């Protein structure tokens, strides 16, 4: 597969001059880039470059000291993580963050919690609206389970699953929210070739079938160059490159960062 060349015009999210520091440590300084609606956008960079911090800013877990984020035309400087979720931003984590005591099915059902509205009273009776709602969402979740090919582990507590499947369940949980913007933090880390191929297929299918915009962090350059539309490169909390995969491959600053030219 070669790099895809698609064009996008509508900007879904743009990051303007974001700076974030912890005490004296600067994690991000003056970062700006945008994510177009419908594209697959990759963030790459050496370890400690600030990639995860960037995602954490986008979904409201960290609050940058400077700069603003414009999402769907609304400019904001701060929001709570669950507000981000309500506005259609879902994500997965570098170190899997599943609910270990719950089954695969329950984990993915939790992804739909924002769409489930019945209150305590109906829940306690479990008839009428509560029961109907439960079945409705179960159907939606079963579609995701089929899509990710994890029918056989539906009722298994996720703590007992192997790593690769846990990653898949986590993707399922994020998809269950039917997000507009999906943030994937190293979705293929620690996987073998076969698992990586599966995961790439899922990411591309999500993008194609549901039209979900995807922003992902990944270390495997082969994968990044193959599946992403545009790439942004961070190093030591600064942006050193931004463009389509071919440009990035030939960008001297990026090559230096990866090969380790002394600063």
Partner 1 sequence: MFYREAGQFKVSYAADQAVFPIAQDRIAMLALLLIAFLVVPFVASEYVYRAVLIPVVILSLAAIGLNVLMGYCGQVSLGSGAFMAVGAYAAYNFAIRLPFLNPFVCILLGGFVAAGVGIAFGVPSLRIKGFYLACATLAAQFFADWAFLRIKWFTNYTPSGSINAPPLEILGVDLSSPTANYIVCLVFTVVLAIATKNIVRGHIGRQWMAIRDMDIAAEIIGVQPMYAKLTAFAVSSFLIGVAGGLWAFVYLGSWEPAAFSIDRSFQLMFMIIIGGLGSILGSVLGAAFIVLLPIFLNQALPPFGALFGWRISTATVSHFEAMIFGALIIFFLIVEPHGLARLWSVAKEKLRLWPFPH
Partner 2 sequence: MGFFLEVLIGGLLAGVLYSLVALGFVLIFKASGVFNFAQGAMVLTAALALVRTLDIAQKEWHWPFWLALVAGFLFAAFVMAIIAWASERLVLRKLVNQEGIILFMATIGMTFFIEGLAQTVFGADVYPLNIGLPKEPIFILESVFDGGILVNELDIWAAVIAGLLVAGLALFFQRTRIGRALRAVADDHAAAQSVGIPLNQIWFIVWLVAGLVALAAGAVWGSKLGVQFSLTLLALKALPVLILGGFTSVPGAIIGGLIIGAGEKLAEVFLGPMMGGGIEIWFAYVLALLFLLVRPQGLFGERIIERV
Q: Which residues bind partner 2 (CB under 8 A)?
A: 22, 52, 56, 61, 93-95, 97
Among residues 165 and 231, whose Cβ is nearest to partner 1? 165
Q: Which is nearer to partner 1, 14 or 110 (CB)?
A: 110
Residue 24 has a CB neighbour count (10 Å cut-off) of 5
Q: 22: burial class by Cβ within 10 Å (0-12, 13-18, 19+)?
A: exposed
Q: Which is nearer to partner 1, 7 or 139 (CB)?
A: 139
CB of 187 vs partner 1, minimal distance in Å: 15
Residue 94 touches which of partner 2, partner 1, none (CB < 5 to 8 A by kind)? partner 2
16-19: list long-range contacts, CB under 8 Å, 24+ apart. Answer: 16/67, 16/68, 16/69, 16/70, 17/66, 17/67, 17/68, 18/54, 18/57, 18/64, 18/66, 18/67, 18/68, 18/69, 19/64, 19/65, 19/66, 19/67
Q: Considering only CA atoms, which of 239, 164, 234 is closest in space to residue 194?
A: 164
Q: Is 48 or 129 the residue whose CB approaches partner 1 more closely?
A: 129
Contacted entry of partner 2, partner 1, none for residue 86, CB cut-off 5 to 8 Å set by kind: partner 1
User: Shortest gap between Cβ of 208 and partner 2 (angstroms)?
Assistant: 28
**Residue 173 binds which of partner 1, partner 2, none (CB < 5-8 A, kind-dependent):** partner 1
By the 8 A CB rule, do 97 and 170 touch?
Answer: yes
Q: Answer with the entry of partner 1, partner 2, none that 106 interacts with (C-beta below 5 to 8 A by kind).
A: partner 1
* Closest C-alpha to 73, from 20, 37, 19: 37
Q: How far apart are CA 228 and CA 230, in angstroms?
A: 6
Comparing CA positions, the residue from 208, 170, 162, 209 lying closest to residue 186 is 170
From the list partner 1, partner 2, none, pick the one residue 134 interacts with, judged by a Cβ distance below 5 to 8 Å according to partner type: partner 1
Q: Which is nearer to partner 1, 105 or 199 (by Cβ)?
A: 105
* Least distance to partner 1, CB of residue 95, Å: 10
Looking at the Cβ atoms of 177 and 225, the one nearer to partner 2 is: 177
Cβ count near 10 (within 10 Å): 11
Nearer to partner 2, 7 or 95 (CB): 95
Contact residues: partner 1, CB under 8 A:
59, 61, 80-82, 84-86, 90-91, 93, 97-102, 106, 109-114, 116, 118, 120, 123-126, 130-131, 133-135, 137-139, 142, 173-174, 177
47 contact choice in partner 2, partner 1, none (CB below 5 to 8 Å, kind-dependent): none
The tokens describing 187, both together, are: 């979705």
How far CA 199 is from CA of 66, 165, 206, in Å, comes to 35, 10, 11
Among partner 2, partner 1, none, the one that 22 touches (CB under a kind-dependent 5 to 8 A) is partner 2
């Amino acid at each position: 597969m070669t790099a895809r060349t698609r064009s996008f015009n509508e900007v879904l999210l743009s990051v303007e001059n974001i700076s974030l520091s912890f005490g004296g440590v600067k994690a991000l300084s003056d970062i700006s880039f945008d994510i177009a609606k419908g594209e697959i956008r990759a963030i790459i960079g050496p370890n400690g470059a600030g990639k995860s911090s960037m995602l954490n800013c986008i979904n409201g877990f960290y609050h940058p000291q400077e700069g603003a984020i414009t999402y769907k035309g609304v400019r904001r400087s701060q929001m709570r993580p669950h507000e981000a979720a309500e506005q259609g931003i879902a994500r997965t984590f570098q170190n899997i963050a599943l609910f270990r005591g719950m089954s695969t099915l329950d984990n993915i059902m939790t992804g739909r919690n924002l769409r489930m509205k019945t209150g305590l009273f109906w829940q306690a009776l479990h008839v009428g609206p509560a029961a109907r709602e439960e079945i409705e969402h179960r159907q939606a979740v079963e579609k995701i389970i089929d899509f990710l090919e994890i029918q056989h582990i539906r009722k298994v507590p996720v703590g007992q699953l192997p790593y690769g499947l846990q990653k898949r369940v986590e993707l399922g949980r994020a998809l269950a929210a039917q997000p507009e913007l999906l943030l994937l933090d190293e979705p293929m880390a620690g996987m073998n070739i076969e698992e990586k191929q599966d995961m790439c297929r899922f990411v591309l299918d999500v993008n194609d079938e549901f039209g979900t915009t995807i922003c992902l962090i990944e270390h495997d350059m082969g994968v990044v160059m193959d599946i992403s539309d545009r790439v942004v490169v961070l190093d030591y909390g600064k942006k050193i490159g931004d463009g389509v995969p071919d440009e990035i491959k030939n960008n001297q600053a990026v090559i230096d960062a990866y090969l380790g030219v002394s600063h």
